[in-house]
Amino acid sequence: MTAIAGDVASHAAGKPVGNTAGNQGPLLQVRGLRMHFPVTEGMIARRHVGDVKAVDGVDLVIGRGETLGLVGESGCGKTTMGRCILRLETPTAGEILYDGVDIAKLGRRDLVALRRRIQVIFQDPYSSLNPRMKVGSIIGEPMRVHGVEPDAGRRSARVAELLSLCGLNPNFADRYPHEMSGGQRQRVGIARALALNPEFIVCDEAVSALDVSIQAQIINLLEDLRDKFNLTYLFIAHDLSVVRHLCQRVAVMYLGRVVELAACDELFDNPLHPYTRALLAAVPIPDPVVEATRAFQPVAGEVPSPINPPPGCVFHPRCTLAVAECRRTRPQLRELRPNHWVACDVVQ
Amino acid sequence: MPPLLEVIDLHTEFRTGAGLVRAVDGISYTVDPGETVAIVGESGSGKSVSALSLLRLIPDPPGRVTQGRVIFAGRDLMQLSEEQMRNVRGGDIGMVFQEPMTSLNPVLTIGRQITETIEQHRGHDPVAAQRRAIELLGLVGIADSERRLKQYPHQLSGGMRQRIMIAIALACDPKLIIADEPTTALDVTIQAQILELMQSLTRRLGVALIIITHNLGVVARYASRVNVMYAGRIVESGSAAALYHDPHHPYTLALLRSVPRLDRPRQARLDPIEGSPPDLTRLDRGCSFRPRCRFAIARCAEAPPPLEAAGAPGQFAACYRSNELAAVAGEAA
Ligand SMILES: Nc1ncnc2c1ncn2[C@@H]1O[C@H](COP(=O)(O)OP(=O)(O)O)[C@@H](O)[C@H]1O
Ligand SMILES: Nc1ncnc2c1ncn2[C@@H]1O[C@H](COP(=O)(O)OP(=O)(O)O)[C@@H](O)[C@H]1O
Ligand code: SF4
Ligand SMILES: [Mg+2]
Ligand SMILES: [Mg+2]
C-alpha cells in the first residue's frame, strides 16, 4: 500500500505529475492507474494464482492539442494504457479524468458518447480492417452506428471527403482492404478514426509496421490532421526517432510504470533515467561515420515478468547504477529538473 | 585474395495468380572473407528471395532460379547436387532468420537441435557433440547451459531463441553466415545485444556475414559494404560511408532523407518518398523507381539503367543521372 500512498502524496504535494506542454489546459489526467490481469490455474475451479501487473500505478497529464509519446519495450504496458483510456478495459484502480469527468467508472451508456470523442489507430491496418467490407463501409460504419450521418448519400459524401483528406482518391471507397498497399490501408484506418470528429486519438504503433518511405508519409499526414483539427494524440511507439519527431512530451514506460517524463527535447537532450539512457544508446544512427565514433555497451539482461516484478525499482536487475536501496524502495517520480520527472533516486 | 562469395547475375521468378514476379532480377555482388555486407531495402524488394536463392531454398513451384552463378569458396553452388548443398547449408554457410520460432523445431529440445547439426555435418559422436553444444551456448552468452539444453524453444524468450539460432549457425565453423532480419522482431535493447554479439563473434572467428535488414541504422552500425535493393535489383552498392554520405541513386538519397535522426535537430517536416513500391507483376521496361523519382527524365522510361561505377571507388549506381545527382538534388533541396 505504500506505493499507492506515494502516488497520492505526489498530488497532494501540489503540482500534478508532468505539466502539459500546451496552454489549452489538460484534456486527460490519469492518476494512480492500475490494470492487473488475473492469472488463473486449473480447469474447473479456476484458482487465482497471481496478477499480470500490466499497468502498475501510472500518473499522466495530456494537454488539449498536445501529442504525448509513450515509449518502452514490448510488454511494458503501452497498449494496455491506451485500452484503459479508450475504456476497452476497466482499470483495476485509479482515475482517468477526461475533460474533468472520471471515465474509469463510466457505465455503458456514457461510454457510447465517449467513443465519439476518443478514437484509435492501430498498428496493423490489415487485421484492424474488416476484409469483407469495402473501404466506404469501413469508414461510414461508425457514422451509421452513432447516428451521426443517418442519410446514406450524405454519408458517402463524407466518406469521400475523409478519403481525400487522408490522401486517397475517393474512388478507393469501392475497394476492399486486400486491394490496397500497407500505407494505403493505414490511411483508411486514419480516415475511419476521423469519421466521428474525435478530439483525442490513441495512435498505437500506428506507423510501426510501415516501410520507412511510407512511414514518413503517414507521419506527415498525422501532423497535418493534428494542426487542422486541433487533435490530441497519445502516440504509442517503440521507434524513438519517430517519437522525437512527432511529440511535444514523452513518457518512458518500463514494466507497467512510467520511469521518466519530460518535454521531448529535454528528454532526448538530457535523458536522466538509466533505462532511458540505455534505450537511446541502443538506437543505431543511420550514419556510419557517427556510428564509428559511438562506443556503447548494450544494457544486459531482459525485461522481467510483470507477474513477479522485482521489488524496489523494477529496473534494478539491469541497472549499472543500482545501489542496495534500489532493491528495497520503489522510487516515485520526482521533478529533478523543471518539468522533468524521473523515477530514480540515484541519478542527480 | 578472391572473394569468398561471388553472386553473378542471379535471377529468380515466381509464377503467381497475378502474373510472373521477377523477385530477383539480375543481381551481382561479392563478399570477402570475414567481411560484413548488408542488403538493405523495403519489404518486397527481393532481399529474402535473393538469400534463399543462393542457398537453393526457393520453393519450386511456384519459384525458380532461372539464371545466374553463385561461386562460394571456389565452387558454383548452382551446380552442386542436392546432397552436397545440404552439407553447405548449416555447414560452411550458417543461417539466422527473423523468426527463430519457425526455424527451430518446437518438439525438439534446444540441445538436440544443436547436436543434430553437429553430428550431421561434422560426424561427431553424441558425447563430443554435447560438449560442443555447451561450448557454443557459452559463446553466445547463455549461462546455465546444462539446463538450457534441456528446454524447448517455447520456454525461451525471443532474444534467447535468437542466441540459439546463432549458436546453431556457428556450430560447424562456417565461413559465412546469412542473417535475414535477425533482430526485426526484437526490442531495441535486445536487438543491440544480438547484433553486438554477432559482430564480435564473426570478427573473432573470422566469419563473413551477410546481414539483410530494412533498418538503415543497423546497416550504418554494422556493415562495411552495402547493397541497396529496389524491385528485385541492386540499385546502388559501395562502402557504407560512401553510400550514406554521397549517395548516387535517387532511391538511396530519398531513403536517407525520409528518416528522422536522433543525432540531428528536429526537422519541421519529414521528406517522404511519394507513392508506393511497385507491383512487380506490372513493371514496364523503364527504371522501376521512375514513378516515384524526382529526377526522372524521358530516357528513364526507355530501358532499365545498368549498375555502373559512380562516385567513390567501389561505388556503383543504376541511374542515368547518378553523376549529376548531387548537383541536381542540392538545387532541389
Ligand atoms: N488481456 C490480457 N490478459 C492478460 N495479460 C495481458 C492482457 N493484455 C496484456 N497483457 C499483458 O500485459 C503486459 C503489457 O502488455 P501490453 O500493454 O500489450 O504491452 P505493450 O503494448 O507495451 O507491448 C504484457 O505482459 C501482456 O502480456
Ligand atoms: N513463395 C512465393 N510465391 C510468390 N511470390 C513470392 C514468394 N516469395 C516471395 N515472393 C515475391 O517476391 C518478392 C520479393 O520478396 P522478398 O524477397 O520476400 O522481399 P523482402 O525480403 O525484400 O521483403 C515479393 O514481391 C514477394 O511477393
Ligand atoms: S534512372 Fe531516371 S527514374 Fe531511375 S532513378 Fe535515375 S533519374 Fe530516377
Ligand atoms: Mg502494444
Ligand atoms: Mg524479407
* Grid cell for residue A3: 506505493
Q: What is the mean pLDDT of chain B?
A: 94
Residue B93 in 3-state DSSP?
A: strand
Q: Is the pLDDT of residue A14 over 70?
A: no
- From residue B318, alpha-carbon distances to A111, B85, B248 in Å are 57, 32, 9
Q: What percent of chain B has pLDDT over 90?
A: 87
Candidate CATH numbers 3.40.50.300, 3.20.20.60, 3.40.50.150, 3.40.50.620; the one for domain A1-13+26-41+48-117+199-211+228-303? 3.40.50.300
Instruction: Note the pLDDT of residue A3.
Output: 36
Q: Answer whether B233 contacts ligand 3 (Cβ < 6 A).
A: no
| H or E segment and range at residue B123 | none
What are the backbone dihedrals phi and psi of residue B96, each rounded to the nearest 5 degrees, phi first?
-130, 120
Nearest CA distance, A224 vs chain B (angstrom): 10
Q: What is the pLDDT of residue A181?
A: 84
User: In the prediction, which pLDDT does B33 show?
Assistant: 97
Cβ–ligand 1 distance for A55 under 6 Å, the answer no
Ligand nearest B49 Cα, by number? 2
Mean pLDDT of B112-119: 93
C-alpha cell at A296: 556503447
Q: If you average pLDDT over residues B65-69, what whole number do you get?
A: 98
- Band (pLDDT 50/70/90 cuts) for residue B216 is very high
Query: CA nearest A168 in B: which residue?
Result: B275
Q: Do A216 and B259 touch (CB under 8 A)?
A: yes
CA dist A6 to A32, A330, B42, B123, Å?
Answer: 10, 9, 48, 63
- Tens digits of residue pLDDT in B3-47: 999 999 999 999 998 899 999 999 999 999 999 999 999 999 999
Distance (Å) from the alpha carbon of A238 to chain B's nearest alpha carbon? 8
The C-alpha atoms of residue B176 and residue A36 are separated, in whole angstroms, by 47
B243-286 pLDDT, tens digit per residue, is 999 999 999 999 999 999 999 999 899 999 998 888 898 888 89
**H or E segment and range at residue A141:** helix A135-145
pLDDT band at A180 (very low <50, low <70, confident <90, very high): confident
Q: What ranges do the domains of chain A cover?
A: 1-13+26-41+48-117+199-211+228-303
- With CB atoms and an 8 Å threshold, state whether B260 touches A241: yes
* Percentage of residues in chain A having pLDDT higher than 90: 76
Q: Whose CA is nearest to atom 9 of ligand 2?
A: B49
Can you count the helices (H) and strands (E) in chain B?
12, 12
B269 to A223: CB separation less than 8 angstroms, yes or no: yes
Regarding predicted confidence, which is higher, A335 or A17?
A335
The number of the ligand 3 atom at minimal distance from the alpha carbon of B288 is 4
Q: Would the CB of A206 count as within 6 Å of ligand 1?
A: no
Residue located nearest, by CA, to atom 17 of ligand 2:
B46
Residue B101 contacts A where some CB pair is shorter than 8 Å: no
d(CA B163, CA B142): 8
Which residue's CA lies nearest to atom 3 of ligand 3? Answer: B290
Q: Name the maximum alpha-carbon separation found in chain B.
A: 67
| pLDDT value for A5 | 34
Backbone angles phi, psi at A201, to 5 degrees: -130, 130
What is the model's pLDDT at position B331? 66
Closest approach atom of ligand 2 to CA B43: 23
Contact A238, A73 (CB under 8 A): yes
In angstroms, the separation between the Cα of residue B94 and the nearest Cα of chain A is 25
Dist. CA B244–CA B235, nearest whole Å: 14
Q: What interhelical angle do B110-122 and B158-170 show, nearest 10?
A: 10
B1 pLDDT tier (thresholds 50, 70, 90): confident
| Residue of A74, A217, A300 lying closest to B272 (CB–CB) | A217
Residue B146, pLDDT > 70, answer yes
What residues pack around ion ligand 5 (CB closer than 5 A)? B 47-48
Higher pLDDT, A194 or A213: A194
SS3 for A160? helix
pLDDT at A209: 87
Ligand 2 lined by B17 (C-beta under 6 Å):
no
Least Cα distance to B4 among B29, B25, B22, B23 occurs for: B29
Q: Is the pLDDT of residue A12 over 70?
A: no
Residue B304 has what pLDDT?
A: 95
**Which H/E stretch holds residue B39?**
strand B36-40
pLDDT at B102: 75
- Whether the pLDDT of residue B332 is over 60: the answer is no
In three-state form (DSSP H/G/I as H, E/B as E, the rest C), the secondary structure along chain A is CHHHHHHHHHHHCCCCCCCCCCCCCEEEEEEEEEEEEEEEECCCCCEEEEEEEEEEEEEEEEECCCEEEEECCCCCCHHHHHHHHCCCCCCCEEEEEECCEEHHHCCHHHHHHHHHHEEEECCCCCCCCCCCCCHHHHHHHHHHHCCCCCCHHHHHHHHHHHHHHCCCCHHHHHCCHHHCCHHHHHHHHHHHHHCCCCCEEEEECCCCCCCHHHHHHHHHHHHHHHHHHCCEEEEECCCHHHHHHHCCEEEEEECCEEEEEEEHHHHHHCCCCHHHHHHHHHCCCCCHHHHHCCCCCCCCCCCCCCCCCCCCCCCHHHCCCCCHHHHCCCCCCEEEECCEEECCCCCC
pLDDT at A9: 36
Query: What tens digit of pLDDT does each residue of A39-86 get?
Result: 988 777 788 889 999 999 999 999 999 999 999 999 999 999 999 999
- Tell me, what's the pLDDT at A23? 65
Show which of residues 9-28 on chain B sit within 8 Å of chain A, judged by CB atoms.
none
Tens digits of residue pLDDT in A242-297 = 999 999 999 999 999 999 999 999 999 999 999 999 999 999 999 999 999 998 88
Q: What sign does the CA torsion over A255, A259, A262, A268 have?
A: negative
B256: nearest CB among A240, A283, A286: A286
Task: State the DSSP code for B291.
Answer: G
